[in-house]
Chains A and B, each alone.
Chain A
Amino acid sequence: MTLPGARLVVSAATTADLANPSQELAAALEFLKNHRDDWTAWQQEQQRDQAIARTFGTVGPPPGLRDQILAAQGAQHRPQARRRFLLAWAAGLALVAGAGIATRWMPGKSDALAALRDGSLAAAASHFLDREWDHVFDHTAGTLDDLRQFLEREGEPGALDPGDGFDRLSTLGCRRFSWKGQVAVLVCFRTAGDGTIVHVISVPRAAVGPEAREDLDLFREGRWHAASWTRGGRAYVALSSQPLDPGHWSRTRLPDGGVPTQRT
């Protein structure tokens, strides 16, 4: 081994290499030890590399990226999941020759919102997002308008009108559930700038009862930052892993003319 060769091998050695040196690296390290100046210089280089790596390691992804990735992944998997379901369904029919199996997979039969019919909408939504949701949408689209059109085709007109501010946010998709016997619609929005995901659940106002308020109400629900409001004939709850800054929400005019209040 030559001195330049040994320098090259040790200089390129990563932390993982040094923890488990190859024969080549072990030989290079032994070689360099016999060249005192180079050995000292490499040790100094190592200290600098460690400082840079340590500092680089403090740089984290923007808040909400994890949710964004998982939500988008769920949206993309939807067609595949549907195909898999259809295959399984057909195979089940052939084998069992019973129609009962099919009903087990009907939408809305086993979701958490139905199970929590006595709880508040925010609590049910929080429970659902934390434990039940598999990030599969009924429909994926980048704008609220597209989702509205989908819902109208599916017989759910007027299910999505959370406020003009939301029309300017991009969407990932929507999914429907039953809650207290009513259709609940979950829409995932992505805020401009930091890309934070905001989950908005909409139900008929009558399903919410006395907790319905027209003004924007900010509070915490479990690990979520939450907001609720009503608009038209619908009640809405928004949940996000990031604080729902009233200033930001006002800038997006959510809901129109709504004055945020902070629940303690």
Chain B
Amino acid sequence: MVNPPDMEELVDLHQATLYRFALGLTGSVHHAADLTQQTFLLWATKGHQLRDGTKARSWLFTTLHREFLRMRRHEVRHPHTDLETAEMELPPEEPEVWSRLDGRTVVEALHAVEEPFRPPLLLFYLEELPYREIAEALEVPVGTIMSRISRGKTLLRQHLRDAMSEHGSDPKILRLPPNDALRRQDPMA
């Protein structure tokens, strides 16, 4: 059994990926920083209960996601979104376009993906966890996670394509949605 790492080591290892996860969930730099900090604070008070240090990363992602859901519950009621059958739409690709994406565009597009698909999709693109651990971290069955990742990727691609067709094929000229639209999407705004 591996002992859990100390706080400073844990922060150095995971703060960037946790922040990206939080940023994708909330779409807000400030909420993302708060959620990241809150997650580490919870680790400081409860992390010692974790006997196996190898589970620290999953614990952090689970906790951040729970905190996000807890905060959001106080703010907004979301309409239920039925899961659609996972599908794999594979229109012709334009690799040179995808390779010119910028960070802001990607974060905005990820944040625009609907709620049930967004958390697993974010963890997929963080490239830290296998899908079984993503399922564990989000406390969702593996089969559901696979469907959500697959469907989420399709939705993300649609969002990116819509943005590109709206503003031309150069992602650098993509613009943020109007502020009020962002606020509507931001469950904690």
Contact across chains for A11 and B88 when beta carbons are under 8 A apart: yes
Contact across chains for A65 and B19 when beta carbons are under 8 A apart: yes
- Which stretch from A56-64, A91-99, A206-214, A229-237 is at the chain B interface? A56-64
Count of chain A residues near B, Cβ 8 A: 41
Count of chain B residues near A, Cβ 8 A: 54
B102's closest neighbor in chain A, by CB?
A55
Complex CA distance for A4 and B168, rounded to whole angstroms: 33
Chain A positions 21-52 with a Cβ under 8 Å from a chain B Cβ: 22, 38, 41, 44-45, 47-49, 51-52
B157 cross-chain contacts in A, Cβ below 8 A: 48
* Of the residues B15, B93, B126, contact of A56 by C-beta under 8 Å: B126
Q: Hey, what's the 0/1 contact readout for A82-123 against B, CB within 8 Å counting as 1?
A: 000000000000000000000000000000000000000000
Q: Hey, what's the 0/1 contact readout for A53-80 against B, CB within 8 Å counting as 1?
A: 1011111111001101110110011000
Chain B positions 35-88 with a Cβ under 8 Å from a chain A Cβ: 36-37, 40-41, 44-45, 86, 88
Complex CA distance for A58 and B101, rounded to whole angstroms: 11
Give, as a whole number of angstroms, the nearest-CB distance from B136 to chain A.
13
Q: Does A15 contact B (CB under 8 A)?
A: yes
Give, as a whole number of angstroms, the nearest-CB distance from A135 to chain B.
9
Q: Hey, what's the 0/1 contact readout for B123-150 against A, CB within 8 Å counting as 1?
A: 0111111111110000000000111011
Contact across chains for A77 and B44 when beta carbons are under 8 A apart: yes
Contact (A52, B156) CB under 8 Å given A14-B129, A47-B98, A73-B7: yes
Q: Does B29 contact A (CB under 8 A)?
A: yes
* Of the residues B103, B104, B146, B156, contact of A12 by C-beta under 8 Å: B146
Contact across chains for B146 and A9 when beta carbons are under 8 A apart: yes
Interface residues of B (CB under 8 A from A): 7-8, 11-12, 15-16, 19-20, 23-24, 29-30, 32-33, 36-37, 40-41, 44-45, 86, 88, 90, 93, 95, 98-99, 101-107, 110, 124-134, 145-147, 149-150, 153, 156-157
Interface residues of A (CB under 8 A from B): 4, 7-9, 11-17, 20, 22, 38, 41, 44-45, 47-49, 51-53, 55-62, 65-66, 68-70, 72-73, 76-77, 195
